[in-house]
Amino acid sequence: MKKINYGRQSINDDDIEAVINVLKSELLTQGPQVDKFEKELSKKFNTKYVCVVSSGTAALHLAGLALGWKKNDIILTTPLTFVASINAILYCNATPDLVDINMDTFCIDIIQLEKKIKAYLSRGKNIKAVIAVDYAGHPCDWKGLRKLKKKYNFQLINDNCHAIGASYNKNKGYGSKFADIVTHSYHPVKNITTAEGGAILTNNKSIYEEVKLLRSHGINRKSLKLKTKETWNYEIKNIGYNYRLSDLQSALGISQLKRLNKFVTLKNKIAKFYDRNLRNSKAIILPREKKEIKHAYHLYPVRIKFDKIKVNKSELFFKMKKKGINLQVHYVPLYKHKYLKEKFKFKEKDFPNTSLFYKEAVSLPIYANLSIADQKYVIQSLQEIVKL
């Protein structure tokens, strides 16, 4: 039986050779491949500074620490994101709040964002930061977000994990242009992978230096070497973390990065194939794409009007799985998780767009190696089950 997942990595012989070469070298971690990967990322995304780390979650956590988040700071983000987005806020002891999505892009709605900021200001409270997620690979309204940042003086983080390789006004390096910090994830289902891994991109040198220190236990060797001949000595400036990326992973990342444009092009072709073959369905709403952006298509989320067909979402997932096709939903909204709902008193009625999207959303398989035959099989299977 076929087995088609919603996403998967694309590994070739060059990737394997790159990792083997590191295995044969003297340094498996904290070696030259880390520095090389950072330089390649800096060049690719037109940002001054890059610090690679162990995961996208680690990147968000260190971003919050570098920006000085602390108790009573209010950080806003979207409810339509992986739990890492809110966990990073909680790791810093800050207070999260949520802003509903825009139904055209599924990204944070800047009209609702400004309303929430004004509501806090009316109670004498300022917003410390906003984490804006480029959902599914579609960039947010970054011009609008930057305008609000200047108007209300908050920090702006681009959670770019879905949109690696996307463009905004023909610029792949839009993240660092508009945001204080950009975070990446290189999990296997992302557009490039290091197995596990992530990165922080910024044009701010002080942020970069703080993040680089914190990713490796907060250990500072350089300052002591200037003062003493005790080359073995070191000091801890602040409590840090073991959030390092290895040379093995960095070598894989360097190899993968060379094919990023190809991966995004292939995913766009798959998305267009789905568009052409599903556009006439009265029960399916396809994802949209704003004129000023090039979608990275980390995900291909469709909205299915289950009230118009004879199967519910659970039945659709079960029947597609019997055919060897594993669908997914991205994501269970943050306000639905028991811990977060009880702790922060989130109310579902405050997020009508996200609630509607979650009710209807299904992520179809999309990855670089998904063959035309498998794309046709996914479409045919879907049409057979929902009787479109």
Both 17 and 38 in one domain: the answer is yes
Residue 366 counted as domain residue: yes
pLDDT for 1:
72
Both 103 and 51 in one domain: the answer is yes
Both 342 and 304 in one domain: the answer is yes
Both 207 and 173 in one domain: the answer is yes
Both 170 and 219 in one domain: the answer is yes
pLDDT in tens, 43-79: 999 999 999 999 999 999 999 999 999 999 999 999 9
Average pLDDT over residues 132-161: 98
d(CA 273, CA 285): 15
d(CA 171, CA 155): 22
pLDDT for 227:
60
Question: The domain that contains 191 carries what CATH number?
Answer: 3.40.640.10
Both 285 and 381 in one domain: the answer is yes
Residue 231 counted as domain residue: yes
For residues 300, 352, 290, 146, the Cα torsion angle rounded to the nearest 10 degrees is -120
pTM above 0.85, yes or no: yes
d(CA 249, CA 7): 20
Task: Look at residue 292 and give its three-state secondary structure.
Answer: coil
Residue 376 counted as domain residue: yes
Residue 328 counted as domain residue: yes
Residue 325 counted as domain residue: yes
For the ranges 22-26, 122-126, 163-167, 232-236, the lowest mean pLDDT is seen at 232-236
For the ranges 1-5, 135-139, 197-201, 255-259, the lowest mean pLDDT is seen at 1-5
Q: How many angstroms separate the Cα of 33 from the Cα of each of 188, 215, 247?
A: 19, 17, 5
Residue 4 counted as domain residue: no
pLDDT at 230 over 70: yes
Out of 239, 259, 279, a domain closes at 259
Residue 6 counted as domain residue: no
pLDDT at 388 over 60: no
pLDDT at 225 over 60: no
Both 118 and 147 in one domain: the answer is yes
pLDDT at 2 over 90: no
pLDDT at 223 over 90: no
Average pLDDT, the chain: 96
Both 249 and 320 in one domain: the answer is no
Both 101 and 39 in one domain: the answer is yes
pLDDT in tens, 268-305: 999 999 999 999 999 999 999 999 999 999 999 999 99
Q: Under a CB-based contact definition with an 8 Å cutoff, are residues 130 and 157 in contact? A: yes
Q: Under a CB-based contact definition with an 8 Å cutoff, are residues 205 and 48 in contact? A: yes
Give the number of other CB atoms < 10 A from CB of residue 76. 23
Q: Compute the half-sphere exposure of residue 373: CA atoms within 13 Å on the CB side of its CA.
A: 2
pLDDT level of residue 224 (50, 70, 90 thresholds): low
Residue 232 counted as domain residue: yes
pLDDT for 228:
62
Question: The domain that contains 350 carries what CATH number?
Answer: 3.90.1150.10
Domain that holds residue 35: 13-259
Residue type present at position 46: N
pLDDT at 319 over 70: yes
Cross-strand partners of 101? 108
Both 54 and 196 in one domain: the answer is yes
Out of 221, 244, 259, a domain closes at 259
pLDDT level of residue 387 (50, 70, 90 thresholds): confident
pLDDT at 229 over 80: no
CA nearest to 336, candidates 5, 98, 68: 98
d(CA 105, CA 99): 14
The total number of structural domains in the chain stands at 2
Out of 259, 283, 303, a domain closes at 259
Answer whether the bond into residue 331 is a cis peptide, omega within 30°: yes
Task: Look at residue 136 and give its three-state secondary structure.
Answer: helix
Cross-strand partners of 95? 74
Both 129 and 224 in one domain: the answer is yes
Please give the share of the chain, as a percent, with pLDDT higher than 90.
Answer: 93
Both 171 and 104 in one domain: the answer is yes
